[in-house]
Amino acid sequence: MERYHTNNKGKIVSKVFEDVFSKYDLMNDLMSLGIHRLWKKRFINSLNPQKNTKLIDVASGTGDIAKLFLEKVNYQSTVCCVDENKGMLEISKKKFNKKDKIKWYFSSAEKLPFKNEEFDYYTISFGIRNVQNIDLTLKEAFRVLKPGGRLLCLEFSKVDNKIINNFYKIYSKSIPKVGKFIVGKSEPYQYLVNSIEEFHSQKELLNLLKKNGFTNLSYKNLSWGIAAIHSGWKI
Residue 177 lies in a domain: yes
Domain residues for 79?
Answer: 9-233
Positions of the chain with pLDDT under 50: 1-7
The pTM assigned to this predicted structure is: 0.91
- CA pair distance 224, 202, nearest whole angstrom: 12
User: Of all helices (H) and strands (E), which one includes residue 36?
Assistant: helix 36-47
Please name the residues in contact with 200: beta carbons below 8 A apart, sequence gap of 6 or more. Answer: 129, 208
DSSP string covering 204-229:
HHHHHHHHTT-EEEEEEEEGGGTEEE
- CA pair distance 81, 62, nearest whole angstrom: 9
Residue 189 contacts residue 178 (beta carbons within 8 Å): yes
Residue 1 lies in a domain: no
Please name the residues in contact with 11: beta carbons below 8 A apart, sequence gap of 6 or more. Answer: none
Supply the pLDDT for residue 2.
Answer: 33
Residue 16 lies in a domain: yes
Helix axes 134-144, 202-211, angle to 10 degrees: 50
- CA pair distance 173, 22, nearest whole angstrom: 22
What is the number of structural domains in the chain? 1
| Backbone φ, ψ for residue 60 (5° rounding) | -70, -15
Residue 3 lies in a domain: no
- CA pair distance 134, 137, nearest whole angstrom: 5
Helix (H, G, I), strand (E, B) or coil at 77: coil
CATH number at residue 47: 3.40.50.150
E strands, the chain, in order: 54-58, 78-83, 102-106, 119-125, 145-156, 215-222, 227-233
Residue 221 lies in a domain: yes
